[in-house]
Amino acid sequence: MKVSLLFVIATALTMGSATLQAVDKSAGEALYKDACAQCHGPNAQGMASFPSLSGRDAEYITSRLETYRAGEKVGSNSFLMIPNATGLSDDDIANLAAFITESAE
């Protein structure tokens, strides 16, 4: 029993660290500059009717992008965000969230 519990804990910790290592902030930066900066601003400060992303945590960014990717409406700009998020992979979303939360403060 103790060996099984230790195995489960070790596996969970290993999976968690593998996920963290998979994040590529430079890939997130490239995606952000290509697809996000035009509306959210070069420093994610927001522009006009496009909200600021600066100061948001990774969970919020990830959740919103996943919602848009699923085609679900969130607010008045959903019609713009859904097509932009549709082609994002899980890795793309993780990379964007890492870049936005760590670089756009």
pLDDT digits over 10-37, tens only? 444 444 444 445 899 999 999 999 999 9
- Residue 40 counted as domain residue: yes
pLDDT on residue 103: 83
Amino acid at 49: S
Q: 80 lies in which domain range?
A: 24-103
pLDDT digits over 35-55, tens only? 999 999 999 999 999 999 999
- Residue 36 counted as domain residue: yes
- Residue 15 counted as domain residue: no
- Residue 8 counted as domain residue: no
- Residue 81 counted as domain residue: yes
Ramachandran angles phi, psi of 47, nearest 5°: -150, 135
pTM of the complete model: 0.77
Check which CATH number belongs to the domain holding 98 and give it: 1.10.760.10
Q: How far apart are CA 39 and CA 17, in angstroms?
A: 33
Look at the chain and report how many structural domains it folds into. Answer: 1
